Amino acid sequence: MAEQRTYGFIGLGAMGGPMAENIAKAGLPVHVYDAAGTKERAHEKAIAHDSLAGVLANADTVFLSLPDGPICTAVAKEIVQVNDRKTSVVIDLSTIGTAAAQEIDGILKDAKITYMDAPVSGGRRGAINATIAVMVGGPKAVYDDHLEVFKAFAKNPFHVGEEPGQGQVVKMLNNFLSATALAASSEAMLFGLSQGLEAQAILDVVNVSTGMNTATLDKLPNRIMSGTWDAGFTNKLLAKDVRLFFENSTKAGTPNSIGNLVTQIFEGAEKDRPGSDISLVYKYIEEGNEPKI
């Protein structure tokens, strides 16, 4: 019988905490560490460590769930400096852009560690319920070898390409589409309301018609019209994601005029209400703050 693979998890924040918890709940051995305080954030079934080195000494595969590219790069540099290291695979669940993913791949490759970029989509609610999607860039054989653990925390795992960074491409374009749908649906709803229509009447029609999207299905009826403003993802993070889309599409030389505008909207919404939920972009637009074309 093959020896069971052991897992590590670095970063137990809003997304990482629930994902690591679902791995532990699935009965898979998971060693965890968070610089902000591991014991306070670790699930009771996880094995908590007070250092990154402790995780690396015990885990065959280590997942990263960190805020941005610079932090992920810094952690990758720390990983290769640890000599007592069992880890041979690092799977990065963060949204960091292709350049950062490729840089980290180079850092880890020199230490004979396989790197996979595997950003996720579905928000904190999806992370808690293990319904998120994960889009993985890297060797298919390594992806196949980790399918059990992916399915422990993600309902929809996908292998999207052989090259590290390709997962980032899919995540960036997905979040750009999601952000665009939310901004456009907010404008559409505000127009409809201005003409004396009821919000529910508008949504009843749109949600069985071609304008249907995640904003009309969930965010508008359940987070915005309800007044709860609790989509579970911040404008700061979505602004980062659409900025990454704009920067990477600019580098690729592909059309991105809409990307430019949507980036400005969400960066403006974050500046207007720092740390606010993405649903509050509706208020930002309603108040006439969005950039003019």
Which residues are CB-neighbours of 208 under 8 A, at least 6 positions away?
Answer: none
| 116: nearest Cα among 102, 130, 132 | 102
Using the 3D structure, point to which of 128, 145, 164 is the last residue of a domain.
164
| 175: nearest Cα among 249, 252, 90, 80 | 249
- Give the tokens for residue 289: 């703050």
| Predicted local distance difference test score (pLDDT) of residue 96 | 95
Stretches in the chain below the pLDDT threshold 50: 1-2
Shared-domain flag, residues 185 and 206: yes
CATH at 276: 1.10.1040.10
Provide the number of structural domains found in the chain: 2
What kind and span of H or E run contains 115? Answer: strand 114-117
Residue 141 belongs to a domain: yes
Residue range(s) defining the domain that contains residue 174: 169-286
C-alpha dihedral sign at 112, 106, 95, 136: negative
Residue 2 belongs to a domain: no
Using the 3D structure, point to which of 118, 143, 164 is the last residue of a domain.
164
Shared-domain flag, residues 200 and 125: no
| Predicted local distance difference test score (pLDDT) of residue 47 | 93
CATH at 14: 3.40.50.720
Residue 293 belongs to a domain: no
Residue 1 belongs to a domain: no
Residue 212 belongs to a domain: yes
Q: Is the distance from CB of 45 to CB of 22 less than 8 angstroms?
A: no
Shared-domain flag, residues 26 and 53: yes
